[in-house]
Amino acid sequence: MLVIFDWDGTLIDSTGKIVACMQQAAKDAGIAPRSVADIRNIIGLGLDEALLRLYPEQAADLRASIRQHYSARFVAADQTPCEFFPGVMESLDWLRAQGVPLAVATGKSRRGLDRVLGNLRMSYYFQGSRCADETASKPNPLMLNQLCEEFKVNANSAVFVGDTEYDLEMAHRIGMPSVGVSYGVHEPARLANWQPLQILDDFSALLPLVAERYGMAKP
C-alpha cells in the first residue's frame, strides 16, 4: 500500500506562479518569453529538461541563466504560498488517519520541495519523496522505482496521482496504477493516453477509489 502524488498542479495550484516566473526569467536573461501554453506544457519536468524543451535553439549558458533567474523569481514569489486545490487537505487528513503511506514524486528540486513543505508545515503528511534533481526527470520512472524500494512495495501495489502526461507515462512504464486529475495543466485527452484508473474532476473523489483498492471502509 502506497499513494504517491505529484505536487504542482495536482495538490497545489501553482501553475500561474510557475508561468509568470518563467516568462519573467526569460526577460531577465534578455530573450523573448515563451507563451503561456508552451510553459504549461513543460510543467512537471525537471527544470533543466523543461528549459531544453522551451529553448532548444539557445546555448547551454543562456539556458543556465534563465534557470538562475527562474529560481530566484520563484523563491521570491513563493514567500506567499500557493493554495491547495479544493478537497486536498481534507483528503490527505483522511488518508493519514487510515494509515495509508503517502509520498511525493515531483519535478521540483529538493530545495524547492523542502522549502514549500516547511512553509506549509506539510512534512508530517509524507513519509517519502523524490525530486527531479536527485534522480531522473519524469517521465523516466526512476523516482517511482526508488520510492517503491524505500517503502518495500511492488509497483502494482502503489497508486500514483498526477495532472500531466509525464506523470501518467512514468507510472505506466513500470506498471503502476495511476489516477489523473483534470484540473491541472494537461487536458484529460492527453492523460487518457496512459490508461489511468480514473481521471478525476474533484480531488476528494480519490478517497473511495483508494478505499476500494486497499479494502478499506469508504469515506
Active-site residue list:
6, 8
CA distance 12 to 84: 4
**88-97 and 206-213 helices cross at what angle (nearest 10)?**
20
Residue 195 Cα to chain centre, angstroms = 18
Beta bridge partners of 12: 8, 84
- CB within 8 Å of 111: residues ≥ 6 apart: none
Other CB atoms within 10 Å distance of the CB of residue 89 = 15
- CB within 8 Å of 99: residues ≥ 6 apart: none
The C-alpha angle 183, 11, 92, rounded to 5 degrees, equals: 125
Which residue carries 469515506 as its cell? 219
Which burial class, exposed, middle or buried, applies to 78 when counting CB atoms under 10 A from its CB (0-12, 13-18, 19+)? middle
- CB within 8 Å of 112: residues ≥ 6 apart: 74, 75, 131
